[in-house]
Structure 1
């Protein structure tokens, strides 16, 4: 299947992330359980390379989980547009003051009223090791038709959308 707008898979991935913005970040808690928390992606462009940025509280349970194990999964979903992203990588806390200032915005101010210089405010940098996305281009009606046809013929539905593993 052709790429939308003839963009590279990397550009398509970043376009989808920018459009969705809210991610579920999954970490391993010290009791071994996987825990997911919603965070807002702060990246504004593909120029960020293979790093996602989030603001978090240094005193949060999320930060404690990351001190024990930095492996994370970041998932994005836009069911209304049939777009899904799964990213695996390694997370670390960052105190980069210049990056905090660059990414700071009014929505972040609502969560951290003492501003970017508050010692409890940290940036979470997720270095992506593996990226994968699914993007269904056809309408719901076309999808339903393809699934009904597959059910009738006993064959899996074809051309349900674009699925890519992306190298960053």
Structure 2
């Protein structure tokens, strides 16, 4: 087994745009949906996703912040992230993670009414790279 560091995992994640974000519903079910990181790929253990404030996942995270993310890269590389979700409604933080592609979804940019940002802070990252696998623990 070849142990990877967070920076090693982050480098291999650089070209992965879509993650599956999983939350726990009020009924105890696991809800999953694809989310784009909008090429905000400088990964340090935190991921950011824009959404609508009234989205089910926002309610799920506010009630129970335990979430997971899964990423599927090329050449048998996959990542599963366990962490805590946080809902951000601060325009200054929106601006730090905004990309022009988001204007297609949110017509008034960071001033779009009802916009929210989900921050997922990783606590544990499990990766598979072909036959190698391992974990990176974060605090």
Specify if TM > 0.5: yes
The aligned runs of 1:16-165 (5 Å cut-off) are 16-42=12-38, 43-46=40-43, 49-78=44-73, 80-136=74-130, 160=131, 162-165=132-135
Counterpart CA distance in 2 for 1:117 and 1:15 is: 32
SS at match of 1:19: coil
- How far off is 1:119 after superposition? 3.3
Structure with higher helix content: 1
Whole-angstrom CA distance in 1 between matches of 2:96 and 2:34 = 22
Identify the residue that residue 166 of structure 1 maps to in structure 2: 136
Give the C-alpha shift of residue 98 in structure 1.
Answer: 2.3
Which structure is higher in RCO with an 8 Å CA cutoff and minimum separation 6?
A: 2
Structure 1 length as normaliser, TM-score?
A: 0.74
Deviation at 1:17, TM superposition (A): 2.4
Residue 55 of structure 1: how far off its partner (Å): 0.8
Partners of 1:95 and 1:64 in 2: how far apart?
14
| Runs (5+) with no aligned partner, structure 2 | none
Counterparts of 2:94 and 2:88, CA distance in 1 = 9
CA contact (8 A) 1:9 1:164 kept: no
Using the TM superposition, give the Cα deviation of residue 88 of structure 1 relative to its aligned residue in structure 2, in angstroms.
0.4
Question: How many Å apart are 1:115 and its aligned residue?
Answer: 1.2
Offset at residue 51 of structure 1 (A): 1.4
Q: C-alpha separation between the residues in 1 aligned to 2:88 and 2:35?
A: 16
Q: CA deviation at 1:50?
A: 2.5
Considering only aligned residues, what root-mean-square deviation do their CA atoms show, in Å?
Answer: 1.8
Corresponding residue SS for 1:81:
coil
